[in-house]
Structure 1
Amino acid sequence: MSLRQCGVWAAVIWSQLTGGPAHGWEHWGGDAGGTRFSPLAQITPANVDRLVPAWDYHTGDLQSRPPAAALRTKFEATPILVEDSLVFCTPFNEVVALDPGTGVPRWRFDPKVGDGRRPANRYACRGVAHWIDTQAPADAACRSRLFMGTVDARLIALDARTGRPCAGFGADGEVRIDVARDLLWPGEFQITSAPVIGRGVVVVGSSIGDNVRVDAPRGTVRAFDARSGELRWSFDPLIHDGIVAGHANVWAPMSVDEQRGLVFLPTSSPSPDFFGGARPGDNRNSDSVIALRLETGALAWSFQTTHHDVWDYDLPAQPTLARIETGQGARDVVMQPTKQGFVFVLDRDTGLPIWPVEERDVPQGAVEGERLSPTQPFPTHVPPLVEPRFAPADIFRMLPRVVDSSCDDQLAGLRNDGLYTPPTTQGTLFYPMTGGGVNWGGAAFDPVHRILYANVSRAVHIVRLIPRAEADHLTPPRGVDFGLQRGAPFAVTRAIAMSRLGLLCNRPPWGEMVAVDLEAGKILWRATVGTTEDRAPLGLAFKWGTPLVNGVAVTAGGLVFTGAMDAYLRAFDAGTGRELWQGRLPAPGVANPMTYEWKGEQYLVIAAGGHSEAGTSLGDSVVAFRLARAGEAPSWWSRTIDRPGGRFAGGALTASLVMAVLVSAGWRWRLRRRRL
């Protein structure tokens, strides 16, 4: 079967599976199950080098907002194609609808989010959700509507055709979330991920400041009537009997199986992240994949991926819904990637693992007052996407130790007994770091070839518990994240292990794309994603990878697309992992790409706004690419990768030149928080 025939077959299958058209991208994750798969096959490995910029839309956020607010943005939005418009939200929750072919704005809605909230997880909005009220007349206002959660804890409903608020929803088109307790500051509680909708119910999670206090706001998930805005149900994942804690919230994107009437939640850790003495036991339903009944909020099942979490190993990624062959027939499953680099594959009806998950002994010996779980769950069939242990041989030494021993000095003396080594007052080496493995970008699944694709990050965290008497007078140095953990006997500091040259202390690659054959339990290939080009002077592009919190999109054309923390959108051969193409962006595209067909042409789109927590350059662009038309030719914005080593192989330069370049660059990877 030819690639083109495969694409046509995929389009037919996907239309039948999803009930939607083959040309669009109607949900944040591509479809309600978050597969990030497109059946479009116009762009292929054979012609990807003919991609050219189609249009570039600027939101104006960086110019219209005060610098203190603009410099705290993360443009993580993924547009959706609905009502013949490309719709997305800016970090300040402005909703914009563009012409898909030209990028010309059709309408814009501003909810007037305040500039002075200091949101705990920065100004960010990952996307909007779309719903059609089939009971309303075809020409009725708000028959087709958009939903968005905001940084100031509102759920807003808009007419998808005009951008006007839906007057019948809540009060003038919005519902204010009742947090049910006083906040320490306005930005302690916010909403960052898109809502999900099914059976006339819109479900929304929350994002809450980490490591601030033990008795923190609760991580309640709320569901509202999609027509009226009336509260239908609420669900607090954390069971509070005998414990003092909050959170276990759902800050990451959710998934929906409307046919089964289920919504799938990836829950976070209880508060605080690094000391659990006030919350004994496994803290059931935290760090879990949870299935709830859409119409009632009743618990269908729950599967916990980390017991009694004191490592900030919450679930950051959207559960991916797919149908796979298991060796004993086809099954509908939930695939959940984690920060540890694991992929749990669960039966969609029962939550039971498709393949064995072993409870293995893990390191013990925590600080006084802590009671660790003696075991943790390990998948046995699908190999880890990130190696779960860091050894001295894994230290990255660009220069001889006599010249730069900063990494060895930092890591010496830290407790490092492998995965799940508990936090200590002497300092503990966390690997993967608390923002490692797979993050909020999630995984993509090709249902035709049944391959899972995911971006992963590699870095080392140094975590240290600070006794309360010392913590109250501590001023942490620059680059160290400090969590007071009020109400606990210990505060916490976190720092990325970096050398004096500003390089990560672990060996590259620091960011990879991984392709996995789930059925065979085999990693097919790994590909380094990203270079130092936008960090180092003179455009030196060492192919070491960049941390990758964003996800990928896979197409029936045989390509996987991703952004990175350098300013390129990239295309990889889905079968081999070979990097085929780079499209230059005005700022790093730390967001999930998407693709759609418009008037016979396939477009590829990504939000290119950078990432303030990671220290990248910032921007406010949404950029689209398409294949060159007759008479057009690729420009410097678009280039083919013609050799595996990239533009520079690193070893070709002398150590002295490398040192001079990197020192002068002042390179800093400032990945300080888990919710990157």
Structure 2
Amino acid sequence: MFILSILFFMIGLVLTAGGIWLLALDGSPYYVIAGVILLAVSFTLRRRRVIANSLYALLLIGTMAWSLWESGFSWWPLASRMGTLLVLALPLMIFVGRKGRAAQRLLLPAWAVCTVLTLSPLAMDDPTAVKGTMAESVVNPSAATGLANPEEWHAYGRSNLGQRYAPVNQITTDNIDDLTLAWQYQTGDTKGPEDVTETTYEATPLKIGNALYLCTPHNWLIALNADSGEELWVYDAKVPAESQRQHQTCRGVSYLPAADSSKQNLAKKQNQPAQELASMQCDAQIFLPTSDARLLAVDPETGALCSNFADNGTLDLMHNMPYKQSGFYYSTSPPLVAGGKVIVAGSVNDNYAVNSPSGVIRAYDAKTGELMWNWDAGHPEDTTPIGEDETYAVSSPNSWSVASADEELGLAYFPMGNRTPDQLGMYRSPADEKYATSVVALSLETGQAEWVQQFVHHDLWDMDTPAQPVLLDLNTDKGVEPALVVPTKQGDVYVLNRGTGEPIFPITEEPAPQGSIPGDFTAPTQPTSAVTFKPEPLTEAKMWGATPIDQMLCRIEFNSLDYEGRYTAPSEKGAIVFPGNFGVFNWGSVAVDPKRQVMFGMPLYLAFTSKLVAKTGQDLGETNQGEQGLNENAGAPYAVEMGPFLSPLGVPCQQPPWGYVAGVDLRTGETAWKHKNGTIEDLTPLALPIQMGVPGIGGPILTDSGVAFMAASVDDYIRAYDVKTGAQIWQSRLPAGGQATPMTYMNSKGEQMVIQVAGGHGSIGTTIGDYVVAYKLAK
């Protein structure tokens, strides 16, 4: 009993001290009360067991009442509040001593009732779920899918429409159990000791002819046989290491078909490495963006550089940049190939320096590399190709994600980010303010902005528009409208007329929290869409932890930081950013079935914190180690420190679920279903496959048979879902983290293949690897 008494004393002391701190922050009084009771239990335990056990019984009953008042019958909130106390009650009941049976008269029934109540949510429906069914009827059988040929996948989202939809139906909800591993390939490109933290393998392959084309984090371009996974050739762009890059990744490559398709003889095996081949005139071209700011044009048949493009196949993207710091600018996403042009945008490091490279979007002749136009959000009116001695605007808003295009309308659609620094708005011009955190429609011919729709005014939260816009023709009350679906970090899904930019579903302005640092301001209102997955505001009661102490410390942190809901202004005190920097949606975007006009997405809810650090001449220590941590903002009066809102044990401070899958009927804007997604199997030492709803980075694809595929979550699985109900119907263990969007096609034998790149993600800590995994139905 002595050891147990000491344990109760230590826990009671911590809860009492922390509870007083929390109470001083206007937080819950529960922890002070619980701490005092545990101290009393400790003092009375050795001599007065009846009193000690009775006090503990009252603590259990009071904690249960408080837990139900705060969170209702929800498993994870109840388990975190009651679990530790229920376990600690066991030795009190077991080691009762000679006079201890009387002590059980209250404790045992209290423990039994509280245990039943704590476990009861496991037999109930998930209170966070939306249960329903998606419409299955085909409402537009002739809908454009970009590529009619089910054998192909020519762009990142399969086509420039960005739908991530394949008109294949061999794999169905009925035979999905027969899906099995077909082949597995390892690239040999893995994270090295000199790589930055966010070295990630996020590539989605292209399928052209009978070959697959994919890039690796260090910008190797690899061609594989689409039937067998046999390596055809490898081109290594030989990108040097650079510690100032925020990302070391490649999401994909782009394809320019030959003018005469009969000239293509793709996937021809070569006997020597691609680097040893002389450059050549190319009929078709694969475009590879590199993390040292080059754009390479490569022959898809041989892997040789295309001598007809730019400087013998290489285009230096640092030309005309106002600042050229190594590692500050590069393209992580594939360029857009449309209208005879290859249109390149790029990523500018967040929060490293006020004076950084431009976020300019540039269109080059796809065959020659000649600059055709440049659209710079800092100087948006003049798109005439820039002169040799001129420079683009400093640090102008960039577009780091994937663009889409409607060649019939002659428009390209770019999701726009912010001007660095993200949390300091005093450096922005009126043009920066207009185009930041938006989607902009640019003329394919001239580069002129035809329209813009902004999603955050005066963005101080790094709410870049992260996802590729999705194009479909949508049945509405006005008839069939050319629609654009744009998911955002803040959780809104905007559905716009892609010809005019006008909303198809209403956009309203809502009052926003006010207050900012001197010299800056916050917008009085912020837009929100009628189609939305924005989270409910956080409260102290929604704080979570693996133990009561962990949870109490999260509550103290919550009450110590500024938080007034979405768009709480950054401050020196520190603020909660929710949704956090990963966003509700990110570069994985959503998948849309244009025939049934339904959407499949992966909403994510993970809070971050940000803190402005005044620079008063002191040494800031280590900075610029990635998007998370302390970034210098060189030239600004404040650095910024950012990261996930985690407990001392490293789990999110807000209660789960943190990740879902969801389905939306785009004709009505209604969410048909929403279910938590993913397990904690790879998050705990015990490898427990408990479905908790976990975070993820990546995206889904849809097929004509009503089956969706997605990996993305922080457990190492690829999963299949029934689009009608959202139910998970299949899963397969991956050899590494699947933080890439899969793809699917028909091979030369008439078999549907599903391909998933599995290489992990440096920032979220999933298993690192270098795998390409292929599945097909067993014969």
Distance 1:179 1:268, change over 3 A: farther
**232-241 or 271-280: bigger deviation:** 232-241
Inter-partner Cα distance in structure 2 for 1:511 and 1:569: 15
Which residue identity does 1:169 align to in structure 2? F
> Given the two structures, how large is their TM-score scaled by the length of structure 1?
0.87
Give, in whole Å, the separation in 1 of the partners of 2:716 and 2:593: 26
Opposite residue 508 of structure 2, the aligned amino acid is E
Deviation at 1:216, TM superposition (A): 2.1
Gaps of 5+ in 1: 1-5, 630-676
Match of 1:123 among 248, 253, 258: 248
Structure-2 residue corresponding to 1:665: none
The alpha-carbon deviation at position 360 of structure 1 amounts to: 2.0
* Separation (CA, whole Å) in 2 of partners of 1:603 and 1:266: 30
- Aligned partner (choices 424, 434, 445) of residue 275 of structure 1: 424
- In structure 2, what is the equivalent of residue 344 of structure 1? 494
Give the 5 Å matches for 1:318-337: 318-337=468-487
> How far apart are the structure 1 equivalents of 2:305 and 2:623?
45
Q: Does structure 1 residue 587 correspond to structure 2 residue 587?
A: no
Pairing 1:69–2:195 present = yes
When residues 395 and 196 of structure 1 are mapped into structure 2, their CA distance, relative to the original with a 3 A threshold, is same
* Residues 353-368 of structure 1: pairs in structure 2 closer than 5 A: 353-368=503-518
Structure 2 CA distance for partners of 1:174 and 1:83, relative to 1, 3 Å: farther
Supply the distance in 1 between the matched residues of 2:257 and 2:158 (Cα, whole angstroms): 17
Alignment TM-score, normalising by the size of structure 2: 0.75
Q: Is 1:498 matched up with 2:646?
A: yes
Measured after TM superposition, the shift of residue 549 of structure 1 is 2.1
2:294 counterpart of 1:154: yes
Instruction: For 1:21 and 1:471, locate their aligned partners in 2 and report how far apart those are by CA, in whole Å.
Output: 61
- Which amino acid in structure 2 is aligned with residue 46 of structure 1? D
Per-residue deviation at 1:542? Answer: 2.5
- Is 2:231 the counterpart of 1:105? yes
- 1:579 partner letter: Q
CA distance in 2, matches of 1:490, 1:13: 54
State the AA in 2 paired with 1:469.
Answer: T
Asked whether 1:547 is paired with 2:675, we answer no
Q: 1:189 to 1:575 in 2, by over 3 A?
A: same
- Which residue, out of 227, 230, 237, partners 2:370? 230
Q: Counterparts in 2 of 1:33-432, with a 5 A limit?
A: 33-62=161-190, 66-69=192-195, 73-114=199-240, 116-118=241-243, 120-134=245-259, 138=263, 142-181=282-321, 185-239=325-379, 246-279=395-428, 283-379=433-529, 381-382=530-531, 384-401=532-549, 404-432=551-579
Identity across aligned pairs (percent)?
36
More helix by share: 2
The CA distance in 2 between the partners of 1:518 and 1:389, in whole Å, is 26
- CA shift in 2, pair 1:245/1:420, >3 Å: farther
RMSD: 2.5
Task: Mark the CA change 1:516 to 1:507 in structure 2 (over 3 Å): closer, same or farther.
Answer: same
Cα distance change on mapping 1:280 and 1:416 into 2, 3 Å: farther
Contact 1:266 1:287 survives alignment (8 Å): yes
Mapped contact 2:323–2:394 kept (Cα < 8 A) = no
Q: Letter of the aligned partner of 2:421 in structure 1?
A: P
Give the secondary structure class of the aligned counterpart of 1:405.
helix
> What amino acid is aligned across from residue 405 of structure 1 in structure 2?
M
CA distance in structure 1 between the partners assigned to 2:164 and 2:669 by the alignment: 21
Task: Deviation per CA, 1:378-421: give whole Å up to 9, x if none.
Answer: 11x31x223152122221233224x6522112212211111111
Which of 612, 625, 636 is 1:465 aligned to? 612
CA contact (8 A) 2:196 2:243 kept: no
The answer on whether the counterparts of 1:439 and 1:456 sit within 8 Å (CA) in structure 2 is no
Letter in 2 for 1:460: A
Residues 1:21 and 2:171 are matched in the alignment: no
With over 3 angstroms needed to count, the CA separation of the structure-2 counterparts of 1:22 and 1:537, relative to structure 1, is: same
Alpha-carbon contact 1:148-1:155 (below 8 Å) kept: yes
Higher strand share: 1
Deviation per CA, 1:284-343, whole angstroms, max 9, x where unpaired? Answer: 111111111112211111111111111111101001111111222110111111000101
* Shift in CA distance, 179/267, structure 1 to aligned 2, threshold 3 Å: farther
CA distance in 2, matches of 1:268, 1:337: 13
Deviation at 1:163, TM superposition (A): 1.6
- State the distance in 2 between where 1:221 and 1:556 align: 34
Answer whether contact 1:222 1:231 (CA < 8 A) is retained: yes
CA distance in structure 2 between the partners assigned to 1:438 and 1:473 by the alignment? 32
- State the secondary structure of the residue aligned to 1:87: strand
Query: Is residue 178 of structure 2 the alignment partner of residue 31 of structure 1?
Result: no
1:309/1:580 Cα in 2 relative to 1: closer, same or farther (>3 Å)? same
Counterpart Cα distance in 2 of 1:71 and 1:489: 26
Task: Provide closer, same or farther for how the CA distance between residues 69 and 463 of structure 1 changes in structure 2, counting only shifts above 3 A.
Answer: closer
Correspondent of 2:757 among 603, 607, 623: 607
**Shift in alpha-carbon separation, 1:245–1:177, aligned structure 2, 3 A:** closer
What SS is found at the alignment partner of 1:456? coil
Structure 2: which 5+ runs fail to align? 1-135, 266-280, 382-391
| Separation in structure 2 between the aligned mates of residue 136 and residue 536 of structure 1, nearest angstrom | 52
**Which position in structure 2 is the counterpart of 1:567?**
716
Q: What secondary structure is seen at the aligned counterpart in 2 of 1:406?
A: helix
What SS does the corresponding residue of 2:767 show, helix, strand or coil?
coil
Choose 1 or 2 for highest CA Rg: 2
Tell me the secondary structure at the aligned position of residue 284 of structure 1: helix
Q: How far 1:560 sits from its partner (Å)? A: 1.1
Task: For 1:290 and 1:456, locate their aligned partners in 2 and report how far apart those are by CA, in whole Å.
Answer: 23
2:770 equivalent in structure 1: 620
